[in-house]
Amino acid sequence: MKDLIQKLPKAELHLHIEGSLEPGLMFDLALKNSISIPYKSVEEVRNAYNFTSLQSFLDIYYAGANVLITESDFFDLTWAYLLTCKAQNVVHTEIFFDPQTHTNRGIAFKTVVEGITKALQKAEKELGISSFLIMCFLRHLSEAEAFETLKQSLPFKDKILGIGLDSSEVGHPPSQFERVFEEARKIGYKIVAHAGEEGDSSYIWEAINLLHVERIDHGIRCDEDEKLLDFIIKKQIPLTVCPLSNVKLRAVKSMDQHNILKLLHKGVLVTVNSDDPAYFGGYINENYEALEENLHVNKEELKTLAKNSFKASFLSEERKRHFIELIAQY
Ligand code: ADE
Ligand code: ZN
């Protein structure tokens, strides 16, 4: 099974580039940029990654991002992730970035986008990996700040495919951002949003009905509402599920209690993703392996999950079909 997980072509649809910052690179960049970080060693960093909730993770994740200063830092961060994609046979990736985490520290929007984009272009040419970029609004910040970020994105519209919503979920429902997402849709951006990670099913309803999302990020609490579950199945609204993240942040008690396969069997279009791999102990293959070890996912289920990753992507119908046919041959 490990062999099949490795070999299957896969798409990743839920990956925060800032969450792929490995402790080694964090130390190198801290030294280069003279940024102080509250750790003495890589081991001490790893020991600090003991989370009790989404917020306990976010506090450390935003602090880690402080070491990213120059365009080359964003390039190096992204390139390191893409090399792992290559090693794990991820052939297409749709990457989130959080502009406000950087612009609020005085880093120019352009520095962030150019650094990430140059690595994505190099990966397309040299590694054969295709990609799209999705910028997220931080939901713990205001609607006005989201509007300002939307405005800043306009000169880079050709490099950004869509808009997402992330950060602290509970207390910051999608309804607070209805108007800015309406504007984003008018501009032509694709829309996704984190919902139903820690928040209840009402957050997922709002993401669907008010933001008009094409995908839900996480969405694992959709099974608390029968009507919502039926709706998601009927409309085939994809969920980008992140198993290791859910257990690390205690959204799910343990991997053997994760509902991803139950949702799959009910007909939900679920996909497997790594979220913030440097913080949660694994990239995409480790997430698939966790399902094998704890939920005993079988070969056909694995193939369906890999096919779903392309079905749920923003690739053209032709590219989707190409990869789905490839997976069918395994
Ligand atoms: N930002 C990075 N990872 C996140 C997650 N799992 N939920 C919400 N915001 C995030
Ligand atoms: Zn996420």
Backbone angles phi, psi at 294, to 5 degrees: -105, -25
Residue whose CB lies within 8 A of the most ligand 1 atoms, among 276, 279, 280, 287, for a mutation test:
276
pTM (2 d.p.): 0.98
Report yes or no on 70 lying in a domain.
Answer: no
**CA proximity to 274, closest of 65, 19, 18:** 19
Report yes or no on 35 lying in a domain.
Answer: no
Report yes or no on 183 lying in a domain.
Answer: yes
| Residue 117 domain boundaries | 2-18+78-328
Look over the chain and give the mean of its residue pLDDT values, rounded to a whole number: 97
Report yes or no on 241 lying in a domain.
Answer: yes
In the chain, the number of structural domains is 1
Quote the percentage of the chain above a pLDDT of 90: 97
Report yes or no on 268 lying in a domain.
Answer: yes
- Closest-CA residue, ligand 1 atom 6, reads 275
Q: Which of 12, 197, 198, 206 is catalytic?
A: 197
Q: Annotated catalytic, 292?
A: no
Report yes or no on 56 lying in a domain.
Answer: no
Indicate which ligand has the atom closest to the C-alpha of 279: 1
What pLDDT score was predicted for residue 56? 94
Report yes or no on 53 lying in a domain.
Answer: no
pLDDT tens sequence for the chain (330 residues): 999 999 999 999 999 999 999 999 999 999 999 999 989 988 899 899 999 999 999 999 999 999 999 999 999 999 999 999 999 999 999 999 999 999 999 999 999 999 999 999 999 999 999 999 999 999 999 999 999 999 999 999 999 999 999 999 999 999 999 999 999 999 999 999 999 999 999 999 999 999 999 999 999 999 999 999 999 999 999 999 999 999 999 999 999 999 999 999 999 999 999 999 999 999 999 999 999 999 999 999 999 999 999 999 999 999 999 999 999 999
CATH number of the domain to which 125 belongs: 3.20.20.140
Residue 289 burial (CB count, 10 A): 18
Report yes or no on 141 lying in a domain.
Answer: yes
The CA 211 to ligand 1 mean position distance, Å, reads 18
The angle at the Cα of 37, spanning 148 to 110, to the nearest 5 degrees, equals: 30
The CA 100 to ligand 2 mean position distance, Å, reads 15
